[in-house]
């Protein structure tokens, strides 16, 4: 087990390096530079600016310095757009907000999705199943940027229950978390239903019934463990979906998370910030995916840990 974990974790390093390298050169080879957007400056000033940020060095030297700074000092360099602040500061300020949003949304998605899916499977092909799955289908089909304005219109502008935007008190968090979590909940409901339907037909469930266990005990203690396997394997992509979703949600609700730097940094050619955001999201995704694989193996004894 520990050998497997070690191998998987070590396997992340080359992938991460690949991503970082790819993005590093992609950003620098792209047309335009970080100081193009400002009004035209004399060439001497431009040269001074580039020298200050080490942009006049050959590409490979820049790459070497960047990697050295990153590996040995965990330093991502300065941020071009917000002078005087480092990329690390910006990430340290915004990442916790995004994490909070993502985790709350995932909790909500599980709390809504799993029961909905179980109901669908237990009442297979009956009214409750049809209703649960229609709700889930709507959840999958409505994009977050449509859901968000509807939520704001109903709950903020008409009923005045929750604030329109920002991220300050728990009341501020309600609408963004619902908006980020519901589409994921819909996916989880469908996966739970599918997994449960398969498990309910299995022999060990028939045995449990024959023993005379109560229906709820069978579902919660016996079927759910196997029925949730598809959900577990979805959690990796699900989290990445939430990260993407948080991009939209953070924009609409004006939440000071990391999502907005995604596009903003790329548009501004803010090399350091692009690298920082890529690195954080990339490693987060990879670690989560690995964790999901491990959880999968732990839940399903049939999976052999080799790889």
The site that binds other proteins (CB under 8 A) totals a number of residues, namely 43
**Taking CB under 8 A as the rule, does residue 232 contact other proteins?**
no
Q: Which DSSP string corresponds to the chain?
A: -HHHHHHHHHHHHHHHHHHHHHHHHHHHHSSS-TTSSSPP--HHHHHHHHHHTT-SS-HHHHHHHHHHHHHHH----B-SSSTT-BHHHHHHHHHHHHHHHHHHHHHHHHHHHHHHHHHHHHTTTSHHHHHHHHHHHHHHHS-HHHHHHHHIIIIIIIS--S-SS-SSSHHHHHHHHHHHHHHHHHHHHHHHHHHHHHHHTSHHHHHHHHTT--HHHIIIIIIHHHHTHHHHHHHHHHHHHHHHHHHHHHHHTT--SSHHHHHHHHHTT-HHHHHHHHHHHHHHHHHHHHHHHHHHHHH-TTS----
262 lines the binding site for other proteins (CB under 8 A): yes
Subset of 199-228 contacting other proteins (CB under 8 A):
201
C-beta of 53 vs 145, nearer to other proteins: 145
Instruction: Determine which residue in the list 149, 217, 221, 256 makes contact with other proteins, applying CB under 8 A.
Output: 149
Q: Does the footprint of other proteins cover residue 289 (CB under 8 A)? A: yes
For residue 286, state whether it binds other proteins (rule: CB under 8 A): yes
Binding mask 17-56 for other proteins (x = CB under 8 A): --x--xx--xx--xxx------------------------
Q: Which is nearer to other proteins, 130 or 214 (CB)?
A: 130
Rounded to whole angstroms, the Cα distance separating 209 from 223 reads: 11
93 makes contact with other proteins (CB under 8 A): no
Told to check if 274 binds other proteins by CB under 8 A, we report: yes
Closer of 167 and 234 to other proteins (Cβ): 234
244 interacts with other proteins by CB under 8 A = yes
Distance CA 207, CA 200 (A): 11
Structure tokens belonging to residue 104: 């709350």
Q: Tell which one of 57, 131, 142, 299 touches other proteins (CB under 8 A).
A: 142
CB of 8 to other proteins, least distance (A): 10
Q: Which of 205, 252, 255, 258 binds other proteins (CB under 8 A)?
A: 252
Residue count (the chain): 307
Token pair, residue 19, equals 């991503």
Is residue 13 a contact point for other proteins (CB under 8 A)?
Answer: no
Using the contact rule CB under 8 A, the part of the chain among 38-46, 71-79, 104-112, 144-152 near other proteins is 144-152
Which span sits near other proteins by CB under 8 A: 84-92, 108-116, 148-156, 212-220?
A: 148-156
Query: Is residue 296 within 8 Å of 232, Cβ to Cβ?
Result: yes
Nearer to other proteins, 6 or 26 (CB): 26
Under the rule (CB under 8 A), what is the footprint of other proteins?
12, 15, 19, 22-23, 26-27, 30-32, 137-138, 140-143, 145-146, 148-149, 153, 157, 198, 201, 240, 244, 247-248, 251-252, 262-263, 266-267, 274, 277-278, 281-282, 285-286, 289-290
């Amino acid at each position: 087990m520990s050998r497997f974990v070690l191998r998987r974790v070590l396997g992340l390093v080359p992938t991460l390096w690949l991503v970082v390298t790819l993005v590093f050169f992609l950003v620098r080879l792209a047309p335009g530079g970080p100081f193009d957007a400002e009004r035209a400056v004399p060439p001497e000033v431009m040269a001074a600016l580039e020298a200050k940020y080490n942009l006049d060095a050959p590409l490979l030297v820049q790459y070497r310095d960047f990697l050295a700074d990153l590996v040995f000092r965990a330093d991502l360099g300065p941020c071009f757009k917000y002078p005087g602040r480092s990329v690390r500061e910006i990430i340290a300020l915004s990442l916790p907000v995004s994490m909070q949003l993502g985790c709350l949304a995932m909790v909500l998605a599980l709390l809504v999705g799993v029961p909905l899916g179980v109901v669908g499977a237990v009442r297979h092909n009956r009214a409750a199943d049809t209703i649960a799955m229609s709700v889930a289908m709507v959840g999958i089909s409505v994009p977050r940027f449509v859901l968000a304005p509807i939520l704001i219109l109903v709950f903020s502008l008409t009923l005045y229950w929750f604030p329109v935007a920002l991220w300050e008190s728990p009341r501020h968090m309600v609408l963004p978390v619902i908006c980020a979590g519901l589409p994921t909940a819909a996916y989880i409901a469908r996966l739970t239903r599918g997994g449960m339907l398969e498990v309910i037909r299995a022999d060990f469930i028939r045995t449990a019934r024959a023993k005379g266990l109560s229906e709820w005990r069978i579902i919660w203690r016996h079927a759910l463990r196997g029925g949730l396997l598809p959900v577990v394997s979805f959690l990796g992509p699900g989290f990445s979906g939430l990260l993407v979703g948080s991009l939209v949600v953070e924009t609409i609700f004006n939440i000071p998370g990391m999502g907005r730097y995604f596009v903003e940094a790329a548009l501004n050619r803010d090399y350091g910030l692009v690298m920082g955001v890529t690195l954080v999201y990339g490693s987060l995704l990879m670690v989560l995916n690995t964790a999901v694989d491990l959880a999968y193996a732990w839940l399903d004894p049939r999976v052999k840990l080799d790889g």
